[in-house]
Structures are given as structure tokens and as C-alpha cells.
Structure 1
Amino acid sequence: MQTLRIGIVDLDTSHPNNWVPIIKELGHQVVAVFDGGTVHEEGYATQFAEKHEIQMVCDALEDMVPHVDAVIIHSVNWDLHVERARPFVNAGKAILIDKPMAGNMRDIQQLLEWERSGARITGGSSLSVCEEAKEWHRQHDPYDEIVTVLAGCSVDEFNYGIHAFYFLQAIMGAGIESVRSTGVHLQHQIELVWQDGRKGILSVGATQGYLPFYATIVTEHTVKHLQVDSSRLYRSFLEASLPYLSGDIEPFVSISQLLEVELAAMAAKKSLLLGGEEVALKHLSEEDQGYDGASFAVEYRMKVKGH
């Protein structure tokens, strides 16, 4: 396995602190950090670098480019992801974009265009490769057809709720065709329809207490409930992602399949705004509202700072 020189872009969330030690344990180097100041004050990147023994703190992304083989983008404002990625794509570097990768069609189309041009990009949610879904697939008889799956989590509809979308796809596979909001009762309930006719149900959004990631899978012969052990998620995700970033293996899932999940979340929002109309993913356009990363980042900073 090739040892990667990795740069960390934006330190907004808890993920960089948790991921850097795992990256090192997996045999890679974290050589540079950049923070745009969305959440943390000036000087935080230097403190982070000292804590994790990272030699380079960059004032500009362009300063990082020549020193890394790959970057991990952690911006809590997902509307920044494409521009954060651009200098690295242009330089032929590998890129992992933390979830949600994008909240609007313009950015999703740019990511898909980069994939078509051969850029090495992955990302999304660690639920896409969680051990519970993989174990279920190992034990599941492929001839025992899925009747339906109910999956969900709490906290919010997109930044955190996107995990549930990824978990559902990890179980059901690619091929989401359309989405329909069935309305809101405490949480937002959403029906997803696959191209082969299968349907899954999601329930996402804030609740009074924290709800873990879960799924109940109904097949023609069995009912199985999965509850995710969150302590294993980061390692599983990085073990799946880093060998692809280094060029050692094919992607665990293509970026186009991963982005299908984020398109489904956009379709769910559009359906809710339209009073529950079914929305086909292929009919989404740049005119659709999407999710506002800048507004979410302001709220996130206020929570982190205790305002």
C-alpha cells in the first residue's frame, strides 16, 4: 500500500480530531492543515497542528497543493466543498469530501463532471460502508427479496440526516429513482422508490433525545433490526477510502452512486415543499432550492460557541 501524504482542509467539525489518529494508525502521514475560520478563531489550526504533530499550517490552499498526495475536506459549510476541492483536482490530487458532499445541483454536477474526467474523488457518510450493513449482506440470501426497509436517525434533516440516506442505500444498493415526502410528524418521513420497484422509508430530523442510526429490514422470510455501533464508523470509512485515494484499489462505491443519496435528499426537500408530490431524481435542476450550507454553518458555529 502506498503511504499517502494527506492534507486536512477545514477543521470545523469533530471529525478531524477523531480521524487524524486513525489515518496515522493506518500507515499514512498527515502533513498539512488549512482552516478557513468558519467555526474556529484564528490560531486554532496552529493548536490543532501542534496537538497532532503536523508540520505545516497553510494560509492558502494553493500552499498545500505541492506537499500532499490527497486531501480530506471537512468544511461544515458544504457549499464550500467544490471550491475547496478545485485546486487539488486541477493538480491531479486525490480528494475525500466529508458528508454532505453538496447541497445543490450545480455542485453535484461539478463533482460528477470531475468523476467523468478521471479525478480521484470519494466521500460522503461512513454509513455507506458500516460494518452492520456489510454483515447483513454477508448473511443475507440474495434470493430472499427485500419487501421494505425503514431507516433513520435524529439531529437534523440534512447535515446529520444524510447518514440515514446513506445507510438505506448501503442496504438496498444503487438505483434510487424517485422520492416522495409523506409529511412531517415530529420527524420528516420520506418514501424512496428504486428503479426495480422496491421502496424504503426514512425518518429524519430533530427529536428531543438522540436516536442512533438504525434500520429494520423486512424480506419475504425475515425481519432484521440493525443498530449501528458508532465507535467503528470512522475506521471502517477510512479503511475503505484511503486505499482508493492512494490508487491501490477501485472505489468502494463510485462518486456518482454516493451522490445519488444526496440527490435523494434534495428530492425529499422539493417533495415536501410541493406538498408530497413524487420527485424523480432525473428531474432535479439548478433552479431547485437545495440545502443552504452557509446558513447551516452559522447555526453550527453558534452551537459550538454556546451562543
Structure 2
Amino acid sequence: MFKRLLAACLLLGVLACGRLAAAEPPTVPEGALRAGIIGLDTSHVIAFTKAINSPDAQGDIADVFVTAGFPGGTADNPSSINRVEGYTKQLREQGVTIYDTIEAMLPHVDAVLLESVDGRPHLDQARPVIAAGKPLFIDKPMAASLADVIEIFRLADEAKVPCFSSSSLRFGSVFQQMRTNPPVGKVQGCDAYSPCSLEPHHPDLFWYGVHGVEILFTIMGTGCQSVSCTATDGAHLVVGTWDGGRIGTFRGIRSGKSGYGATVFGAKAIESGGNYEGYLPLVEEICKFFKTGKAPVPKEETIELFAFMASADVSKQQGGKQVSIAEMIEKAEAFNAQRAAR
């Protein structure tokens, strides 16, 4: 309700001044939560801000406001650097205050969405947020390496700062139902698929295949033990073996018809379905997380998900050889120990 009143007051002010350029910063009611965004180089920042600041926002979104942003941008990634200026301009026009550094933004917000489209700067961008004690959501990919994913969670745990990462696909109603659907019964296996475009600075699945891998783990849960991968110019096919002999696969699509979906093999039935339901389910989870400090996705599941993708990369390089998830995590932790000792 108060977002509608604020929007009406803002509109009257704009009309009185006879201008539509940069909107005034939103007046945040006492007790509301102020969110800041790091990385204004993805369409997510526009979609998330519109959803959160909407006068019609309801439930956990209603008393959260995006009030601040830091542009960021990664110079050697055209998908990042070519978008920063335009998205920053759009946020200014929505009344979001833009800061030159993350450190300058942090005193003015209560929680942070790390949205930089390139995963490589995420660890360094997360450090000051964690040091400031702000709840932190990190958009996909959480990082550009498994080691960085593990290190971000370690820092957050050490500082007792709530932190989680997820693709929006995880919270689609169809995929949530597929995880525990009584008519289908206990999940025996799953074949998930999604688009899987590549970006040269990221392991193959991290850039976009992460969406489909998120679907796979939403349905299968943790317990993946080993991974093998076959890849061509048009597709990746990744096979994971879970505890109890369950098998889950991910098909990453780069040619032909694409989409998001899964087939679940249950104890009682086989079910296929899925689609993209937009950002709102994820935004609702983010806002709830900011208030409760309780991550909707356990860190262990996110780490295993990224170990699955990192293992697929190694398997592809080794001609499809099976790669151990546990060994992949151990190597990443050893790398972090060496990095800390430098």
C-alpha cells in the first residue's frame, strides 16, 4: 500500500517540475529494508528493481526497496561492459542512487544483490559486503570457479553473514513440485535441459548452462558422486551418478529448438514438464531471505552444483572420463589454502 502512495507522490512531483529525466530517490518508510545492487550490467537489475519497487508489490517484497547501485562492469567481456552505461541510466531514471564504489554504497543499504553478469569479480565484490555484515544474494553464476564459490561461503560463514546464490529456474512452481510429487513417488533419476551458450572466461556450464543444472539439482538434491561429459558444437550431455545408484543428466542446448524443462523418473510414474516462469519467484525468495537471514538453498547444495559443472569441464577435457565430485571439491579447497598462504 505505501509503495502506491509513494508512487503517486513521486508522479505528482514529476508533473509539478515538468520533467521525466532522473526520478527522485524513493522515500523509504521506517522499518523498510533498503537493498543495494552491485553490477549494473545485466537485464536482471532492471527486472528485479521493477519487481521490488513496484507500487503493487505484495508479501515479502512490499517493504523492500532498491535504493542504491554500483555499476561495476568487466572490460574484457562484451556482455558486461557494453551494457553498464544503459542499465545504469535506466536505474537512475527509476530513482536509484548510483555510487562510485561498493564501499561508498554499503552504509546506505541493509542488504545487497550482487548481480555482476561476469562471475570473475564476484569474490572481490563480495568481500566488502561480507565485511560490512550485509545479507548477500549472488546471482548466477555465483563465481567463475569452484574455488571462489567455496571461498565466498567460507568468508560468509566466518563473519556469520547470510549468503546464497541461485538461478531463477530453481523456484519455478513446476520444478519445485517435481522434487516432491507424491503421484510420481521418490525420485529415481532426472533428465534436465536448458540453453547453454558459452563465454570464454568461464567454465562451459557456468555461464548459462547453470540454469539447467539448477533444475537438475532442484529435483535430485545433493549426493552426486561422479560426473562424465560429452560435448559437441551444438550441445553438452553431462551424466551424474548419485548415491544409491540414481542417475541425473543435463543436456545443454546450443543448436535447434531450445527451452527449459525436465523429465523425472519416479518410483510410481514418469513426469515431464517445465517452463520459464520469470523472475518473481526468485525475487520473493531474495526478499524473504533478506528479512529472515535463512538461505532457501543450502550452501552444500550450491557447492555440489558448481562441483558438478567444474567436473563436467574436466571430464570433457579428458575425453569423457568420469570425474569425482569429492576430489574436485578437495582440489578447490587445496587451491584456496595455497591462495591464502601467498
Which TM-score applies when normalising by structure 2? 0.76
Correspondent of 1:59 among 76, 100, 123: 100
User: Deviations along 1:204-254, whole A, 9 cap, x unmatched?
Assistant: 141144x111101122331211121x2x331111212221122x2622111
- Name the CA distance, whole Å, in 1 between partners of 2:271 and 2:65: 40
Residue equivalent to 2:134? 93
Question: In the TM superposition, what is the alpha-carbon distance from 1:60 to its structure 2 partner?
Answer: 0.7
Correspondent of 1:282 among 316, 320, 326: 326
Correspondent of 2:166 among 124, 142, 167: 124
Residue equivalent to 1:179? 227
- Name the CA distance, whole Å, in 1 between partners of 2:263 and 2:246: 15
Residue equivalent to 2:251? 203
Residue equivalent to 1:78? 119
- Name the CA distance, whole Å, in 1 between partners of 2:111 and 2:46: 18
- Where 2:207 maps in the other structure, the secondary structure is coil
Residue equivalent to 2:287? 242
Correspondent of 1:224 among 254, 271, 294: 271
**RMSD of the TM alignment (CA)?**
2.3
Correspondent of 2:149 among 108, 120, 124: 108
Tell me which moved more, 92-101 or 128-137.
Answer: 128-137
Aligned partner of 2:220: which letter?
Answer: M
Note closer, same or farther for the CA distance 1:271–1:83 as it changes in structure 2 (3 Å cut).
Answer: same
Residue equivalent to 2:48? 19
- Where 1:48 maps in the other structure, the secondary structure is helix
Aligned partner of 1:245: which letter?
Answer: F
Conserved? CA contact 1:9–1:73, under 8 Å:
yes
Note closer, same or farther for the CA distance 1:45–1:235 as it changes in structure 2 (3 Å cut).
Answer: closer
Residue equivalent to 2:14? none
Conserved? CA contact 1:34–1:45, under 8 Å:
no
After TM superposition, what 4+ stretches of structure 1 lie above 6 angstroms from structure 2?
none
User: Deviations along 1:97-155, whole A, 9 cap, x unmatched?
Assistant: 1101012133122123124322211122112222112233453358x333321111124
Correspondent of 1:4 among 33, 38, 42: 33
Aligned partner of 2:271: which letter?
Answer: K
Conserved? CA contact 2:192–2:263, under 8 Å:
yes
- Name the CA distance, whole Å, in 1 between partners of 2:230 and 2:82: 38
Tell me which moved more, 61-70 or 154-163.
Answer: 154-163
Tell me which moved more, 269-278 or 127-136.
Answer: 127-136
Note closer, same or farther for the CA distance 1:287–1:109 as it changes in structure 2 (3 Å cut).
Answer: closer
- Name the CA distance, whole Å, in 2 between partners of 1:165 and 1:110: 21
2:186 aligned with 1:140 = no
Note closer, same or farther for the CA distance 1:184–1:288 as it changes in structure 2 (3 Å cut).
Answer: farther
Tell me which moved more, 71-80 or 43-52.
Answer: 43-52
- Name the CA distance, whole Å, in 2 between partners of 1:45 and 1:202: 32
Which protein has the larger Cα radius of gyration, Structure 1 or Structure 2?
2
Conserved? CA contact 1:153–1:205, under 8 Å:
yes
- Where 2:133 maps in the other structure, the secondary structure is coil
- Name the CA distance, whole Å, in 2 between partners of 1:153 and 1:174: 20
Count of matched residue positions in the alignment of Structure 1 and Structure 2: 282
- Name the CA distance, whole Å, in 2 between partners of 1:80 and 1:34: 13
Residue equivalent to 1:267? 311
- Where 1:256 maps in the other structure, the secondary structure is helix
Which TM-score applies when normalising by structure 1? 0.84
Residue equivalent to 1:303? none
Question: In the TM superposition, what is the alpha-carbon distance from 1:10 to its structure 2 partner?
Answer: 1.0
Correspondent of 1:33 among 59, 69, 81: 69
Q: Name structure 1 gaps, 5 residues minimum.
A: 290-307
